[in-house]
Structure 1
Amino acid sequence: MNIADPTETFRQEARELLDQLEAGLLDLEQDPSNSSLINSTFRALHTIKGSGAMFGFTAVAEFVHEFETAFDRVRKGQSQANTALIGIALDAKDHIHRLIETPEAHIAGGAEILAALRIVVDGGTPAPAAKPAPAKSEQPASAAKTWRLVFFLPADALIYGTNPLLLLEELAQIGPCTITALTDRVPVLESLDPEVPHIGWQVDIVADDPAAAIDDVFLFLRDNMELKLTELATDEPIVEVAPEPVAPQPRPLIEKPEAIERPAATSLRVPAERLDELMDRVGELVIAQARLSQIAALSSDTALKTIAEELERLSSGLRDTTMGIRMVPIGTLFSRFRRLVHDLSAELGKPIEFITTGEDTELDKTMIERLADPLVHLIRNAVDHGLESADRRAAAGKSAKGTVRLSAVYSGAEVAISVSDDGAGLDTARIRAKAEENGLITADTKLTEQELYQLIFAPGFSTAKEVTSLSGRGVGMDVVKRTIDGLRGTIELSTVPGQGTTATLRLPLTLAIIDGMLVRVGKGRYTIPLAAVEECVELPENAAAHARGRNFLDIRGSLVPYLRLREVFATPGPAELHQKVVIVSSGEGRVGLVVDQIIGNNQTVIKQLSRLHSGIKSFSGATILGDGTVALILDTAHLVASGQSYVDRTIEGKAA
């Protein structure tokens, strides 16, 4: 049995909290007076501090405590959450991340970050590194007040990881104190429950007014605990949550289910490798089920047919459930780029508004992981090359603040992810000149605009006039192209001079299992992704008279080009008498695919083609059929683009 490493569990949870912290800080920069954002940021810090101390990350707990102390002034309205504060707080967040990931290494810079943070929250005046308790001789005795705090933790505090000793340490930092354990509620040994904190605590604190600081210590426990704070000089209750402590009844050794209410688990951490392995097993099950269904179809055994149908239903449900587990909202990826744009804006001196839409669009987790680098390069390119400086934007009649948009939307069997800016647009003349200089094309080479734009993705291509830390080496866009090709996706570029550029990535929803339509062309069988199929129609008899086979169909008043797959694949033998046309779509385009026979729908396990076949653009992969043979999966995006290019050539021919 594998037991999860608690340290690694802490790291995973800390990464999520740090992501929340970063998002909160970036939101706070846009809305500095939002108390909800300030409180959520403070809670994230408080949780990281408590968890870090619990799991032995002492350096993390100490650093976050100082960070939290400085940020507490913002929470109390004593300081403003301005751009300078957010910048230093983000540096502090990065330092916490380094301390968590490499606790054994000596990581310098923490003291400088905290010093800068204190300077900013104090309005430019450096604050002392620590606040030691003042000596009795430094202030009159009358200024010191003694307070008595009595508290009992909630019954489930230990179950959820609360450490009373850490709470007492935090209380001791408020001021000089005397701590006494209250053991009058500890039951006899036979009734003692080790998961319940039976011991209470009395803490006598010397301070001016510790109520706010005590409230911070018990931030996550106040709702369910007993707590009373009294000034000993006057014996007047200042803060009282439970008027009279009620002694809990001893619980039996065999506990009834209703004795402690524990929230039902809403999530479970599972290593990604196990999900991949599960998907592989489901894929093999789908292939075996297809084989069984084919055998059952050829048999007259009713019982076998019933079992095959039941297994098909179960495997289909298992496939959908497993696919659902692997699907992740793309917003988890989009949130990473807010910090990137924030830092680029500061580095380049360009004010930028970053807008994201479509965060709920779901994509296979494998795709999400591999999309991070391409999107980083596209966003950096948009900020560095696309957006002009504030002066140039003002001269062009634009707002000084540039805009970068990142969006995702479903488009048939694909997800379209777009990165757009409102900058100057692509300089086609400069792109062509640079391509000729690099020997990619000759001076007399004729290219369409889209073909010219695609030269940007050539290895080593860059229009930057000088090499900087962001661009100039021609590496980034090459990485984008290779990664998207590896994901069976496509890249489209569109630009309007003076108004901006949009890069659109079109990607399949998943790399694992899809619903497919099995068709036959000659003796070969092919699979079309079912999500891309709009409808199926008969090929008109008079269409057979056209020799070249590329033509148009009238689909309810709309002309749709169609391709004869027999000609595309050079299939030998005569065509079937009654051919079918499968109308597929990709993005805004549609095309009809002429096939000999539509066999039916099936679950398709996608297998990647070898590198030897990577240059074949008409196919996006292959699948194993029930009889053990292989069927190629058609790349609908490429075929639709081929049909659209035929339309463009037809229009140009008529215009000529």
Structure 2
Amino acid sequence: MAVEIDTSAFTEEAYELLSELEDSLLELEERPTDIELISRVFRAMHTIKGSGAMFGFDEVAKFTHEVETVFDMARSGTLPVTKALIDLTLAARDQIRSILDASRGGPPADQDNANRIISGLRALAPQKGGAAATETKAAAAPKADAEGPHVYRVRFEPKPEIFSSGTNPLLLLNELRDMGQCRVVAITNTLPSLEELDPERCYTHWEIFLTTTQGENAIRDVFIFVEDDCTLNVRLLTREEEQEDAEPKKLGEILLERGDINEEALGKALTPLGDRLVNAGVVSADKVRAALTEQRVVQEQKQQQTKAAEVDAVVRVPSTKLDKLVNLVGELVTVQARLNQISGRLNNQHLQLVAEEIERLTGELRDNTMSIRMLAIGSTFNKFKRLVRDLSTELGKQMELTTAGADTELDKTVIDQLNDPLVHIIRNSIDHGIEKPEVRKAIGKPLVGQIHLSAVHSGTSVLIQVKDDGKGLDAQLLRRKAVEKGLLSPDAVLTDQEAFMLIFGAGFSTAEKITNVSGRGVGMDVVRKSIESLRGTIDVQSELGKGTTITLKLPLTLAIIEGLLVGVNHDYFVLPLAAVEECVELSPKDIANSHGRRIVNVRGEIVPFIRIRERFAMDGERPIIEQIVIANVDGRRVGFGVDTVVGQHQTVIKNLGGSFQYSDEFSGATILGDGTVALLLDLARMVRYVEMQETKETGGA
């Protein structure tokens, strides 16, 4: 009977490894001699190959083996890391992803592309003979220990006459340093006085503590030509399979094990042990220092293993289950609000106590559930390093991407929908913003253009900025292009800020010709629609000749927000509490003083307002005293007239049905405790539509 194997665990792990692999390769391009990065790439390939073979992904295993073989050579130092190798490995990474996508119902992977990559990798081999020669060379190199990095203690005691053979011990120590993290302690207790010193004799020996992925044989190979001229002792101090909670050896145990003192001498010493032993003359200060170094190295290795174990303790949960949990918590919040209403109406003390306790527990459950959905935006930022690298090559420009705030957390739903808008913004900055190297040189700018991507929390929102040091936006050019394309009336008067926002119009582009990167006028329109669908806003700041900064303001979460519940007639609306600044009253006297204009005087400041009743043509008479909710909308203070202000409300956002697909002024709905539906208002769009309507009524462009 055939047994079906669940391959989802492998594919999810493989996608994560491919993402990490891309980051490591881009770092390696900047530091091509970093042995740790080379080993990291090798380990990622090795894991993908081994797991792929285990789960029946033979095509993945066979293809990845070719890349692994080449990086084994790079790890052993027989093949340098070049741009050609990085290019081919990045292409191989994309090919592996295509194979995985095909296994999940995507288009079939291009086998011709795979063959080209393999041929390119084999051509990089330092010997002729293709893959066979590559494998032979790799087999001859010292193999990394499959179990991971270990700590070795190497005691190297050269004979006094070792200099006569032309050997320099320092070169041997440097060779050990190339194998991993290395700490060296010189033992100089046999060093004679200056009068007795013979410069042709060696009086020093060394204790080396080496953390490496290579085995004992590789360490001994370093000393293969001087093994007759020295005493060499190599001892393995740690293994990953040892108990992680095992206590590190005490200083006395280490000295005893090394043969530096005997038990009788140890028994005579009192704490602090190191100082006592040195003062007692039973061991040199250098040897105590070497033992302390050994103790510290082993402890550090244990700590690293503990951290790795903590990472491995992460539980993988499908996003569908997480979404279901959030929906259930949302329903619980709604029921809890209903319980509060009932307990308040019945005025039962015992029921009110239970309702308060359930409210507290529901709040904690809501906050914990929402925190589970929060992810660091750094993983999204890292994807754009590859984008900048590839576009700089395609467009013949030199660019550098820097990031800040990678640990800023956002709701997973927001992050998932943020990738495409950021891709379009960065592509636009590269194509339209950053100048060619020769142009930058002529105007006195550095040849390498800078694109800075940052994220920072701002209250209940996150600000994401894409900043470049390119040529900036030309407001006059934008106006002229908009008129040419019929998007703007010739007599329209726009501020520079309004002109900058034209780049987000459908079909708008300043490119003279269509390329693979831009020119069709759809990219920035996608940005605007995507950000608005996330209930976010966009701000553009630019200075001609110096650069452009595009700021996206996004809510932390799309599932549950704090809102202000207001009433108009018998209907209810919710305003995002993060935008609300204050509430004021509008009396008949205030209305009379405004002479028919929709404005309210707030402590000497004139604030325009929109009556929600009039905006949506709702029935009923206005109350004698209206309530005006003052909110910050795109940096401006705007009021919203309502009948009553109910108060703060935890809003569980529900999507509106197809009947409301064209009602952009509503961004969702929520269910109140009594089952009533309240609509969540999109304040920015409401203000925009009212302004457009007033412009048309006054005959403006």
- Indicate the TM-score class for this superposition, using the shorter chain for normalisation: 0.7 to 0.9
The alignment partner of 2:471 has SS state of coil
Tell me, in whole angstroms, the C-alpha distance in 2 between the residues paired with 1:491 and 1:56.
Answer: 47
Q: Structure 1 residue 67 and structure 2 residue 71: aligned?
A: no
Match of 2:48?
48
Tell me, in whole angstroms, the C-alpha distance in 1 between the residues paired with 2:464 and 2:309.
Answer: 38
What letter is aligned with 1:486? Answer: S
Tell me, in whole angstroms, the C-alpha distance in 2 between the residues paired with 1:551 and 1:578.
Answer: 13
Query: Cα gap change, 1:455/1:127 in structure 2, threshold over 3 Å: closer, same or farther?
Result: farther
For residue 467 of structure 1, the aligned residue among 511, 514, 524 is 514
Match of 1:408?
455
How far is the alpha carbon of 1:466 from its aligned partner?
Answer: 1.3
How far is the alpha carbon of 1:277 from its aligned partner?
Answer: 2.0
Query: Cα gap change, 1:504/1:440 in structure 2, threshold over 3 Å: closer, same or farther?
Result: same
How far is the alpha carbon of 1:102 from its aligned partner?
Answer: 3.6
The alignment partner of 2:493 has SS state of coil
Match of 1:251?
none
How far is the alpha carbon of 1:353 from its aligned partner?
Answer: 0.8
Tell me, in whole angstroms, the C-alpha distance in 2 between the residues paired with 1:10 and 1:385.
Answer: 41
The alignment partner of 2:572 has SS state of strand
Tell me, in whole angstroms, the C-alpha distance in 2 between the residues paired with 1:626 and 1:285.
Answer: 11
Match of 1:500?
547
Q: Structure 1 residue 336 and structure 2 residue 340: aligned?
A: no
Query: Cα gap change, 1:132/1:438 in structure 2, threshold over 3 Å: closer, same or farther?
Result: closer
Q: CA RMSD in A?
A: 4.2
What letter is aligned with 1:447? Answer: L
What letter is aligned with 1:292? Answer: L
What are the within-5 Å matches in structure 2 for residues 224-623 of structure 1? 241=236, 266-521=313-568, 523-534=570-581, 545-547=593-595, 548-554=597-603, 561=607, 563=609, 565=611, 569=615, 582-585=629-632, 588-591=635-638, 597-610=644-657, 613=660, 618-623=665-670
For residue 130 of structure 1, the aligned residue among 129, 132, 145 is 132
Match of 1:116?
120
| 2:626/2:641 contact within 8 Å kept | yes
Tell me, in whole angstroms, the C-alpha distance in 2 between the residues paired with 1:450 and 1:43.
Answer: 50
Structure with the higher helix share, 1 or 2? 2
How far is the alpha carbon of 1:567 from its aligned partner?
Answer: 7.5
For residue 635 of structure 1, the aligned residue among 682, 688, 693 is 682
Query: Cα gap change, 1:488/1:597 in structure 2, threshold over 3 Å: closer, same or farther?
Result: same
How far is the alpha carbon of 1:19 from its aligned partner?
Answer: 0.8
Query: Cα gap change, 1:373/1:432 in structure 2, threshold over 3 Å: closer, same or farther?
Result: same
Query: Cα gap change, 1:315/1:133 in structure 2, threshold over 3 Å: closer, same or farther?
Result: closer
| 2:122/2:134 contact within 8 Å kept | no
| 2:326/2:559 contact within 8 Å kept | yes
**CA shift digits 1:498-522 (9 cap, x unpaired):** 1122222222222211122223455
Query: Cα gap change, 1:120/1:129 in structure 2, threshold over 3 Å: closer, same or farther?
Result: closer
Match of 2:92?
92
How far is the alpha carbon of 1:347 from its aligned partner?
Answer: 0.7
The alignment partner of 1:376 has SS state of helix
Tell me, in whole angstroms, the C-alpha distance in 2 between the residues paired with 1:590 and 1:222.
Answer: 64
Tell me, in whole angstroms, the C-alpha distance in 1 between the residues paired with 2:62 and 2:374.
Answer: 38
| 2:586/2:625 contact within 8 Å kept | yes
| 1:228/1:242 contact within 8 Å kept | no
**CA shift digits 1:609-648 (9 cap, x unpaired):** 4565556565433222112222232334457889999xxx
Match of 1:26?
26
Query: Cα gap change, 1:263/1:394 in structure 2, threshold over 3 Å: closer, same or farther?
Result: closer
**CA shift digits 1:457-499 (9 cap, x unpaired):** 3333322111211122222223223222322223333321111
Question: Which stretch shifts more, 380-389 or 78-87?
Answer: 78-87
| 1:519/1:525 contact within 8 Å kept | yes
Match of 1:188?
none
How far is the alpha carbon of 1:111 from its aligned partner?
Answer: 4.5
Match of 1:148?
none
TM-score w.r.t. the length of structure 1 is 0.73
The alignment partner of 2:314 has SS state of coil
Tell me, in whole angstroms, the C-alpha distance in 2 between the residues paired with 1:228 and 1:510.
Answer: 53
What are the within-5 Å matches in structure 2 for residues 178-189 of structure 1? none
Tell me, in whole angstroms, the C-alpha distance in 2 between the residues paired with 1:37 and 1:554.
Answer: 62
Query: Cα gap change, 1:16/1:4 in structure 2, threshold over 3 Å: closer, same or farther?
Result: farther
| 2:665/2:681 contact within 8 Å kept | yes
| 2:608/2:639 contact within 8 Å kept | yes
Tell me, in whole angstroms, the C-alpha distance in 2 between the residues paired with 1:106 and 1:478.
Answer: 32
The alignment partner of 1:598 has SS state of strand
Tell me, in whole angstroms, the C-alpha distance in 2 between the residues paired with 1:67 and 1:222.
Answer: 28
The alignment partner of 1:21 has SS state of helix
| 1:358/1:408 contact within 8 Å kept | yes
Tell me, in whole angstroms, the C-alpha distance in 2 between the residues paired with 1:174 and 1:442.
Answer: 69
The alignment partner of 1:415 has SS state of strand
Query: Cα gap change, 1:469/1:642 in structure 2, threshold over 3 Å: closer, same or farther?
Result: closer
| 2:541/2:549 contact within 8 Å kept | yes
How far is the alpha carbon of 1:608 from its aligned partner?
Answer: 3.2
| 1:367/1:510 contact within 8 Å kept | yes
Question: Which stretch shifts more, 37-46 or 349-358?
Answer: 37-46
Match of 1:191?
none
Aligned residues: 552
Query: Cα gap change, 1:106/1:370 in structure 2, threshold over 3 Å: closer, same or farther?
Result: closer
How far is the alpha carbon of 1:537 from its aligned partner?
Answer: 6.3
Query: Cα gap change, 1:45/1:520 in structure 2, threshold over 3 Å: closer, same or farther?
Result: same
Gaps of 5+ in 1: 135-172, 176-206, 249-260, 646-656
How far is the alpha carbon of 1:298 from its aligned partner?
Answer: 0.5
Tell me, in whole angstroms, the C-alpha distance in 1 between the residues paired with 2:121 and 2:606.
Answer: 63
| 2:69/2:135 contact within 8 Å kept | no
How far is the alpha carbon of 1:349 from its aligned partner?
Answer: 0.9
What letter is aligned with 2:609? Answer: L
The alignment partner of 1:298 has SS state of helix
Tell me, in whole angstroms, the C-alpha distance in 1 between the residues paired with 2:99 and 2:573.
Answer: 53
Query: Cα gap change, 1:420/1:520 in structure 2, threshold over 3 Å: closer, same or farther?
Result: same
- Identity percentage of aligned residues: 45
Match of 2:271?
none
The alignment partner of 1:459 has SS state of coil
Tell me, in whole angstroms, the C-alpha distance in 2 between the residues paired with 1:4 and 1:485.
Answer: 44
Match of 2:673?
626
Match of 2:11?
11
| 1:426/1:497 contact within 8 Å kept | yes
Tell me, in whole angstroms, the C-alpha distance in 2 between the residues paired with 1:366 and 1:4.
Answer: 32
How far is the alpha carbon of 1:319 from its aligned partner?
Answer: 1.6
Match of 2:274?
none
Tell me, in whole angstroms, the C-alpha distance in 1 between the residues paired with 2:670 and 2:424.
Answer: 33
Query: Cα gap change, 1:313/1:115 in structure 2, threshold over 3 Å: closer, same or farther?
Result: same
What letter is aligned with 2:419? Answer: A
TM-score w.r.t. the length of structure 2 is 0.68
